[in-house]
Structure 1
Amino acid sequence: MIILAVVWPRTQNLKYINYSTAFVPEACSAPGVPVLTFGAGQDMGSIYEFAEQHNITFIGGSGKTVGAAGGWIQGGGHSVLSNKYGMGVDRVRQFRIVTPDGVLRVANSCQNTDLFWALRGGGGGTFGVVMEASIEVVPHPVPTAALQWEIGASLGNVTAILGLITNVASNSDKWVRDGWGGYIYPTYSIVANPSMNIEQAKESLKDLTDLLTRHGIKYNWHEFSSFMPLFEAIVAAPIPFGINAALASRLVPVDKFSSLLKPLTVTKTLETFALAAGKFAFFLTSPFNYNSTEGETSITPVWRKAIWHAVVLADWAYDGGSVAAKLAYTQAGLAIAPLRLLTPEGSAYQNEGDVYEPNWETSFWGSNYDRLLELKQKFDPDGLLDCWHCVGWKGKNTPIASCYL
């Protein structure tokens, strides 16, 4: 908490933002690319507004107030457009960072390359304090075809919700290959495709819209000319806020959607939905179709072949105390268990994972963890920066862990 108290006020003076049409990372000689360079105080909402004004597209997350240079990108950074354009770690071209020895360093593909790799997925609050990020943008507006629907959380709609879950589990492989991304909740959902026109989109999702029609569920097609109106539609979702909540998640890879394993995937998904009491979501935000270079980033390799980032939520009353909180975390872990059993070789997203994730080193980073730990020891040999289940975590018997249940 002390680190947060010191760093947070200073980011308020790091709100600059600049657009370069031909950015070249320092000490590099590669051709320039379109890049936004911004201070650590910039949040998603402000960056999206800037990008809209300059007719460019920033590939970012769905939270307006999330800092774009912090844990979002350092943990991976998924987006509704990641399927085509990659994750945040795929698009970053340079960081300026103060490492625990007090040195301001530039990290990119030409200098401090090991640190650059670690920052591209190794997690926030681990290798230093990022002061600035330079991230490649799409140098034009990205139009999308989008489908939005809302079911309503009433007992009369249980059949429709279960039908939706089965439909999503049965068709997600096709949808992701077709270029779709989005957020599917039991009640409110929106999916978007930057690679199809509206007629192609309607044909691609016909099985889904037929299901919605059979259940009398209203849906709306949209053609967004740029990212900003799509973003506004995403944040219009009635997602709970101001609550105490425990999360757990699982990345479900493509092999679980084969004709042989798909029935089991459907079954385990329905089990998870039941255990989560309906507080469950499919995030179609993996970089499945993005042409990445193997080993270029430090996120778990499972992200590259994932169809779903599946998330469950368990909440508790604000006055429930530690007993209620502990129960909620236990419930979240139990709810995600069927998908863990389905994907024993799978993974989870650190930024939205179970606080008590078993085998967290492998789950969050897979085969990259050992190298990340070596780099943690190189750049922070005294362990100045420590956080729960982060690379190099010191364990439960430390003051920082005393508040965990």
Structure 2
Amino acid sequence: MSNSACWPNALAWQKFNESIDGRLISVRPTAAFCAGSPPNMKVCNNARSQWTNSTWRTNQAGSMQNHNWENASCSSHLGSVTCTQGSVPLLGVNATTVEHVLATIRLTSANNLRLVIKSTGHDYLGRSTAADSLLLWVHHMKNMSLLEQYKLCTGESISNAIRLDAGVQWGEVYSWLANYKLIAIGGISSTVGAIGGFLQGGGHGPLSRWKGMAADHVLEFDVVTADGQRRILNTCQNQDLFWALRGGGGQSFAVVISAVLRTFPSPSMVSTIYNISATNEIRYSRLIRDFIRFLPTLANVGYSGYFYMTDLNLNIQFFVPNGNFSLVTSIFNQFNNNNTDLQFTTNSTSLFPTFNDYFSYRTKLSGSSGDHVLFGSRLIPEAIVHQQPNRLADILVQIRGRSKTQSMIRGHFVAGGEVSKISVNNSINPAWRTALMQIIFSQGWHENTSVTEQALLALHLRTQIELLQTVAGGILSSCYLNEADPNEPHWQQKFFGTQAHYNRLKSIKKAVDPNGLFICKNCVGSDDWSSDLNCPKASIANRIHIVSFAFFVVAIVQLFQ
């Protein structure tokens, strides 16, 4: 980037704000109103009461779903503190139209500003926030359209496609599509953004084994590229960028304004939920061996789902789209009959007439937000589950979560099936096509945990993932880039499958964003930048920091707020 770019003065900011209909906003960390002299107690108390509410967090410009990524030295759990800005941008654009996005991209590009894009703050690598940056907040771009007959550029007609804008969330999509008895392939969390980093990173979810990954069903993107131009991407135009955005990761190639996706008739859902406890380590090890050996049988009858391992407990939340209730119940009974000596604190199988009915029920079981957590993960090849089930089970028992240390194993039984069979040519990590499931080790910590202790927890997470890697393909193993360790070594291969796959993405990145306007931690092209992502390694030029011009910022905030 060139050092010749000049920081916008107050008049330039005023003109920019006028051009975006007064949408320039100041951005504050989640608990900032609980600090200060005096604190704003009305806003502070609301933040305290809503702290773990994921929906509330998505509605705050400066809030992340996991509070550790705000890095602001303050929280609702602390007393009187000095609240720093941390990793939260100082200024943002509350974009609601394409014109707002175009103007923001042109401003940041022309003035060499650090840019971050955010819809909901669901990001386990902290890519939706950055210190001293300008935030493009697309959360309120909420249009959803049903396209009863959508004509592809190839001439083919697709029935009941949908166009979703940048701020739409999966819970909103599912509820809206229920009116038409339709479903799209999306996430398991209602507040995850539908077409942001979730979709651009590949997007797994509860219906993936049934119909494939979310990115497998993109028909078109409407985007703004780094040169400030609006472009349509599909199989006929801008094909390389279309390929890259379907799995190559968010925040990397362009701002996605909207996407067109396939839909399907909504399936009914047979849901099975078990909470099982063992009395000792030996019995728990046998339980997990039985469970892992049983997974191929469950896969054969269409089961998908999620399981969780902590202490001597196994929580299973599985389901079958369009399943035969009697058949799938009798299949799982085989597993139950082998473990009748164990305590089943929950044992239920239910039939839901539509996916949305199931999802509404499932959402009530979901965990809260606002905590501190790191993830590490590996995709587990289907061949390993079939050929080395006991070895895999023993490793899972060894690294399983401990409630006293706020750690947990999360098993996402969402691969295989159509994920393996589908033939769409996109940039999803090819390891997804041979996997049966994803295993995540999550590590949390308390609010008062020191920086030194947090570093030790991060090292412990790496140790656990290295053990998991021994049954995930060794050094050639992969992980899902949206649920990965931000400190993952060799992330290019781990996130993208092979170095060749990464290199192709990087060549597309250089073609469409040569100056690195769209840059984030461990994203395509970030290895050409300094660790703080503010200086290209091949240049002495630095991003211009908003904090360097704090006197302008204060004036701007007072003028516009």
Equivalent in the alignment of 1:346: 477
Which of 123-132 and 203-212 deviates more?
203-212
Equivalent in the alignment of 2:495: 364
1:145 equivalent in alignment to 2:270: yes
Matches within 5 A, 1:106-121: 106-121=232-247
Distance change >3 Å, CA 179–CA 113, structure 1 → 2? same
- Rounded to whole Å, the distance in 2 between the matches of 1:113 and 1:89 is 15
- Rounded to whole Å, the distance in 1 between the matches of 2:378 and 2:358 is 26
- Rounded to whole Å, the distance in 2 between the matches of 1:240 and 1:395 is 36
Name the amino acid aligned to 2:168. Answer: Q
- Rounded to whole Å, the distance in 1 between the matches of 2:163 and 2:283 is 45
- Rounded to whole Å, the distance in 1 between the matches of 2:283 and 2:322 is 29
- Cα deviation for residue 371 of structure 1 reads 0.8
Task: Note if contact 2:289-2:390 (Cα within 8 Å) is conserved in structure 1.
Answer: no
Q: State the Cα RMSD in Å.
A: 2.4
Distance change >3 Å, CA 72–CA 264, structure 1 → 2? same
Equivalent in the alignment of 1:17: 144
Equivalent in the alignment of 1:191: 318
Question: Secondary structure at 1:369's aligned position in 2?
Answer: helix
- Cα deviation for residue 71 of structure 1 reads 0.5
- Cα deviation for residue 351 of structure 1 reads 0.2
- Rounded to whole Å, the distance in 1 between the matches of 2:348 and 2:252 is 43
Task: Note if contact 1:179-1:289 (Cα within 8 Å) is conserved in structure 2.
Answer: no
Question: Secondary structure at 1:298's aligned position in 2?
Answer: coil
- Rounded to whole Å, the distance in 2 between the matches of 1:396 and 1:160 is 50
Unaligned regions of 5+ residues in structure 2, if any? 1-88, 90-114, 118-132, 536-561
Matches within 5 A, 1:274-285: 279-285=408-414
Task: Note if contact 1:188-1:238 (Cα within 8 Å) is conserved in structure 2.
Answer: no
1:66 equivalent in alignment to 2:189: no
- Rounded to whole Å, the distance in 1 between the matches of 2:178 and 2:424 is 32
- Cα deviation for residue 182 of structure 1 reads 0.6
- Rounded to whole Å, the distance in 2 between the matches of 1:238 and 1:66 is 13
* Equivalent residue for 1:337, pick from 457, 463, 466: 466
Question: Secondary structure at 1:283's aligned position in 2?
Answer: strand
Name the amino acid aligned to 1:373. Answer: K
Equivalent in the alignment of 2:355: 227
Task: Note if contact 2:306-2:413 (Cα within 8 Å) is conserved in structure 1.
Answer: yes
- Cα deviation for residue 396 of structure 1 reads 6.9
1:264 equivalent in alignment to 2:264: no
- Cα deviation for residue 378 of structure 1 reads 0.8
Name the amino acid aligned to 1:383. Answer: G
Distance change >3 Å, CA 232–CA 162, structure 1 → 2? farther
Task: Note if contact 1:59-1:79 (Cα within 8 Å) is conserved in structure 2.
Answer: yes
1:186-238: CA deviations, max 9, x gaps?
35331111142111101322232324543130310011111112213332335
Matches within 5 A, 1:119-198: 119-138=245-264, 140-151=265-276, 156=279, 162-186=285-309, 187-198=314-325
- Rounded to whole Å, the distance in 2 between the matches of 1:161 and 1:145 is 27
- Rounded to whole Å, the distance in 2 between the matches of 1:298 and 1:381 is 20
Equivalent in the alignment of 1:214: 341
Distance change >3 Å, CA 184–CA 78, structure 1 → 2? same
Which of 244-253 and 1-10 deviates more?
1-10
Distance change >3 Å, CA 160–CA 108, structure 1 → 2? farther
- Cα deviation for residue 251 of structure 1 reads 0.3
TM-score of the two chains, using structure 1 as the length reference: 0.90
- Cα deviation for residue 334 of structure 1 reads 1.3
1:102 equivalent in alignment to 2:233: no
- Cα deviation for residue 55 of structure 1 reads 1.1
Distance change >3 Å, CA 54–CA 388, structure 1 → 2? same
Question: Secondary structure at 2:137's aligned position in 1?
Answer: helix
Task: Note if contact 1:172-1:307 (Cα within 8 Å) is conserved in structure 2.
Answer: no
* Equivalent residue for 1:397, pick from 522, 530, 533: 530
Distance change >3 Å, CA 220–CA 29, structure 1 → 2? same
1:384 equivalent in alignment to 2:384: no
Distance change >3 Å, CA 177–CA 373, structure 1 → 2? farther
- Rounded to whole Å, the distance in 1 between the matches of 2:328 and 2:533 is 49
Name the amino acid aligned to 2:381. Answer: P
- Cα deviation for residue 18 of structure 1 reads 0.6
Distance change >3 Å, CA 207–CA 157, structure 1 → 2? farther
Distance change >3 Å, CA 185–CA 348, structure 1 → 2? same
Equivalent in the alignment of 1:297: 426
Task: Note if contact 2:373-2:442 (Cα within 8 Å) is conserved in structure 1.
Answer: yes
Unaligned regions of 5+ residues in structure 1, if any? none
Distance change >3 Å, CA 395–CA 321, structure 1 → 2? farther
- Rounded to whole Å, the distance in 1 between the matches of 2:488 and 2:259 is 29
Task: Note if contact 2:285-2:394 (Cα within 8 Å) is conserved in structure 1.
Answer: no
Name the amino acid aligned to 2:191. Answer: T
1:53-110: CA deviations, max 9, x gaps?
2211122101111110100010010011100111111111111111111111111112
Which of 176-185 and 287-296 deviates more?
287-296
Between the two proteins, what is the percent identity of the paired residues?
A: 26
- Rounded to whole Å, the distance in 2 between the matches of 1:99 and 1:178 is 44
Task: Note if contact 1:151-1:161 (Cα within 8 Å) is conserved in structure 2.
Answer: no
- Cα deviation for residue 292 of structure 1 reads 4.6
